[in-house]
Structure 1
Amino acid sequence: MSLSAATSPSPENETGIETDGPAAGAAAAGAGTVLVHTGAGVVAGQRAGRLSVFRGVPYAAPPVGRLRFASPRPPVPWSGVRDATAFAPESLQPIIPGSGEDSLYANVWTPATDGSRPVLVYIHGGGWMVGGGSLPVYDGARLADRGDLVVVTFNYRLGALGFGLHEELADPETGDFANWGLQDQAALLRWVHANAAAFGGDPGNITVAGTSAGGASTWQLALLPELGHIIRRIVPISACHVWDPSTSLTPADSRQAYELLARRFATTVPGLREVPASALMEAWEELFGGLPGERAVGSGREFRGPVVDGRWMSAFDWELPTPEVPILAVHTRTEGSFYTGPCPPQPTPTPPPTDATELREAVRGVLEKGMAKVSYELVDACITAYREAAEADGLPQDPLSLWTEIWGDALFRYQIMRLSERHARQGRSPQWVMEFAQPVRAPHHGTPHEATSPFLFGTYADTAAIAATYPVPESTPLFHDGPQERAVSETFMDLVAAFARDGVPAGPGAPEWPVFDPERPSTLVLGGERIARTATTSKLRQLRFWDESGWVPRP
């Protein structure tokens, strides 16, 4: 779940340049300007090297005023030429100064505005609470250039404004009353489909990728029938597949949460549309602050993603069939080290355990993210299972390593792998599975959750970009910068670009990669001891604990 302390400048919405046609607009806007006619009006981007870049292009109307808690509306048309050279603010969130409600904008990198290239839409992560498509780590230039792709990033509504449910917030036009951020993502895909050709993209060849919360979104969107003609294939990376009480609110708890907010502000639930956005965000953060067992609301104990509403999410991923589009599923080797490393994202991080007693309490803290009452018998069974698996596989058994593995498997890798195995047995489309194994620099350890994004976008060596996106100081680089890292990044880009182009991941730096089959070595291990190799997915033995623990649903 990527975090950020970056600040994006507020864009000027229009240049004020009135044009009679593209040539007049180009001359008025100046050299290096590239004009594109979108469905809502003309935008002026910039030619930078071998790419044209468009920033802050509206894909929906601002979700403010009466449109707060409403389904996204089409962008408001404009006359003249709209400046598209500056990023829009990120969606309202507690950690980025300048973020705000008026945030439904897209960014496009394209080699040229003519032609018909594959389109890669990337959905940022951040636990459905933070993040933005304009963060520097997601700069699409290198990926668009190397892969000959049209790359699109964007913002969507977050937190209380993006993911929740209450029938009194029903949209009078659509009847929808939940999951506004997921609705934004669907609106973005419809906008991309309608406007891809203007940016040099093929509207019939759209691949959706994303990491963490964004990885889960790729899966959820692919299950929506109305997007079946738009989404050609998906790349879920470290997907945080939601379930309650860990990463989603129950409908009842969501209703209670909005009613508690309404009481706090002495208004009704619909009246929350009139509460200042910053005050609403702060109250939501306070409602879910502190330890899970101390909150008024019992679910949403770690994150608060989409709520089962019968429309945008009919059920959790583990309860539904897998998507019927080609899938390239990625997980990191050590998902949990994002949380147990020296710079974890939690406001009050748990100190790393150093002995058996501290490990017991640390593991109990992990298990409390998905269960109201955790017995020490379950804690001990979990530690024993992981220690035995580590011994059998020749892996470290120190408290920090065991805690890291338990955390990463519980929230991410268990459901990722079990869903991949189920798709291999029952799915109707080809699937490839990648284990990303490129290690970080000390004092960071392992291959953390979200270590993939800097290598997919080629920004791993930009220490300022990494520090602006991850909870690490710029003075302590997260990644090495050498021939190995360059080769891993280029191979990752090549594989995803090939998958986006024709549905088969391949590249000069990778061996032949077979469709995933749990019964044979078919996982591509990218990074680590070698650049790329096919092997059996590592650390499967330790996943067996979750099959029978009753802690997380088994897909």
Structure 2
Amino acid sequence: MSDTTVNDQRPPQPASRVGRRAFLAGAAATAVLAAAPAATARTRAPVPAPSRTPSRAPGTAPTGGTVVRTTAGSVRGERAGALTVFRGVPYARPPIGPLRFASPRPPVPWSGVRDATAFSPISVQHTGTGGSEDSLYANVWTPDTAGRRPVLVYIHGGGWQLGAGSLPTYDGARLAGRGDLVVITFNYRLGAFGWGLHEDFLDAETGSAANWGLQDQVALVRWVHANAEAFGGDSGNITVCGTSAGGSSTWQLALLPELRGAIRRIVPISAAHAWTPAIGLTPDDARTAYELVAKDLGRTVRGLREVPALALRDSWQKVFAGSPTTRPVASGREYRGPVLDGRWMRGFDWELPTPTVPMMVVNTRTEGSFWTGPTPPGPPPTPVPTDEASLRAAVRGVLLKGAVEVSDARVEACVNAYRAAAAAEGLPQDPRSIWTEVWGDGLFRYQIVRLSERHARRGTSAQYVMDFSHPVRAPWFGTPHEATSKFLFGTHALPENVEQFGDGPLERQVSDEFIDLVSSFARDGVPGSAAVPEWPVFSPDRPTTLTLGGERVARLVTTPKSRQLRHWDDGDWVPRP
């Protein structure tokens, strides 16, 4: 394998569907443990609680452990209960120096055995002092390095600005053990380093000048496809799953021609489907943003490869500080995700054909309560509205995330439509609840549901749709955006999660059912679990949406809260697929 060209990471064409699968390492393991019998989704052996930190510092040479050979060299992981875990395995060369704003390159091969028992640094975040540009590493949890298990690649969210595959919530132990899967998490470039466009960053080898974080994700999938057998995975059975920005990425990766045959299925969860001006910069605004940063730092755009990472990060943040109504660019008003570049992002999801692979599409019942609850992420939160005037001000703030101007009439129409829908469905009508539903539907649930409906009409692959509805604990409320990850990974009981998400018998059952549904879908494309009714392929006009969570655990319904979504059909605020 060349270490200078991204093309060498492309997966081989699938010559055979039986036998030769190569998921994460290409060659068979040089040392493997005895294979255990595979469990079914309904009868899983107990697995250990997620381990929060590696037991060795980076760079130390562990004794024992399990050694496998990847395409770049051998790595040693460690046994943790019933699993073997590999942390910090390079899937691409560090994008530093001249490789900042360049397409990812394959990792430089090494000799000997590389320690893979400690997580790598996280990518540079849009806030704080931690993180590193040298962050393109993967983490693997496997029941056994022998065999050919389904592979689940998980793409973390964080608005394309935050997050890491090593966060405790994404510990893959429970999911890999109960699901009998090989589970992969990883880091990709964030913020100004990963999601933008400027021709002065043109990569002469690949012809690309944009969306480096998306390119990192492509490189990871190629690496997974090329390296399956060493970790006990099946390169012909890779499911890509992600939440929020990661959910959006699963959809975009499934549309790329070069990954056709490498991705078998996708599980987009609470996907933040990109559109401008709310969730993505226009190409012109992306160019302007880098030019403003270069001027601020006294450099040319090309010279931005040479400035300290945090200086670049901070200057980029200045461009997008404050209200979107006062910024020098009109797009990227809420998030700066992928930019239309004609290569990696050929169009927004609502403009492009629907994916041709089987899908399990998930949204949460109240996506917006992630931001309107007592501990929202990001900058200082908007005060919770308590009366009609403050409700209209809060709704205007949401609408200004996706439009340069918002009239009083539009605000009034939105409030009235949501209040009428809540009254018709017996839902709360207080100002905070109305504000929450507008936020979650406008930026998330509307496109998720409408794209699912479009796939039901036009798609050629099976699609299963879930409304995840397990309620969080007071003072939090509803089922917020990103609640899913705590139950998919079985990490709801971690100290940082348990107060909000709980750890009672019902929470454990919901987590088990969610894991079983995803793992069975990853195994053969048909989701099933012991306490879940037979789940049919999605049809919008029949009870085919699976509601998971709450005292009844699971039931089939027609699309929940469809009245609320009709408000967006009649306007031009969010694109209609």
What TM-score comes out, normalization by structure 2 length?
0.90
Deviations 1:485-512, CA, capped at 9 Å, x for gaps: 0110000000000000000111112110
Distance 2:258 2:267 in 1: 19
Deviations 1:371-406, CA, capped at 9 Å, x for gaps: 000001000000010011111111111101000000
Percent of aligned positions with the same letter in both sequences?
A: 68
Distance 2:495 2:543 in 1: 35
Name whichever of 415-424 and 74-83 sits farther off.
74-83
Given candidates 493, 502, 506, the residue that maps to 1:484 is 506
* Equivalent residue, structure 2, for 1:115: 147
Distance 1:143 1:386 in 2: 37
Deviations 1:351-384, CA, capped at 9 Å, x for gaps: 1100000000000000000000000100000001
Are 1:502 and 2:524 matched, yes or no?
Answer: yes
Residue correspondence of structure 1 range 281-292 to structure 2 within 5 A: 281-292=313-324
Distance 1:288 1:463 in 2: 33
Distance 2:55 2:566 in 1: 49
Residue correspondence of structure 1 range 36-435 to structure 2 within 5 A: 36-95=68-127, 97-435=129-467
Distance 1:463 1:377 in 2: 45
Offset of 1:86 from its aligned partner? 0.5
* Equivalent residue, structure 2, for 1:30: 63
Distance 1:359 1:398 in 2: 9
Distance 2:440 2:474 in 1: 19
Is the CA contact (8 Å cut-off) linking 1:8 and 1:90 kept in structure 2?
A: no
Q: Secondary structure at the match of 1:203?
A: strand
Distance 1:161 1:272 in 2: 10
Distance 1:426 1:43 in 2: 45
The CA RMSD over aligned residues, in Å, is: 1.4
Deviations 1:45-92, CA, capped at 9 Å, x for gaps: 000111000000000000000000000000111111111000001100
Is the CA contact (8 Å cut-off) linking 1:418 and 1:554 kept in structure 2?
A: yes
Distance 2:403 2:56 in 1: 44
Distance 2:244 2:335 in 1: 11
Offset of 1:14 from its aligned partner? 4.8
Distance 1:15 1:87 in 2: 13
Is the CA contact (8 Å cut-off) linking 1:8 and 1:89 kept in structure 2?
A: no
Name whichever of 91-100 and 48-57 sits farther off.
91-100
What letter matches 1:535 in structure 2?
V
Is the CA contact (8 Å cut-off) linking 2:268 and 2:362 kept in structure 1?
A: yes
Offset of 1:196 from its aligned partner? 1.1
Is the CA contact (8 Å cut-off) linking 1:10 and 1:87 kept in structure 2?
A: no
Distance 2:55 2:280 in 1: 32
Distance 1:347 1:9 in 2: 31
Offset of 1:94 from its aligned partner? 3.4
Are 1:546 and 2:568 matched, yes or no?
Answer: yes
Contiguous gaps of at least 5 residues in structure 2: 1-51
Distance 1:367 1:444 in 2: 23
Provide the aligned length of Structure 1 versus Structure 2: 526
Q: 1:427/1:328 Cα in 2 relative to 1: closer, same or farther (>3 Å)?
A: same
Offset of 1:98 from its aligned partner? 2.8
Offset of 1:11 from its aligned partner? 8.5
What TM-score comes out, normalization by structure 1 length?
0.93
Q: Secondary structure at the match of 1:478?
A: helix
Are 1:439 and 2:467 matched, yes or no?
Answer: no
Distance 1:243 1:101 in 2: 27
Deviations 1:409-460, CA, capped at 9 Å, x for gaps: 0000000000000000000100000000000000000000000000000000
Are 1:530 and 2:563 matched, yes or no?
Answer: no
Offset of 1:285 from its aligned partner? 1.1
Offset of 1:9 from its aligned partner? 8.7
Name whichever of 386-395 and 402-411 sits farther off.
386-395
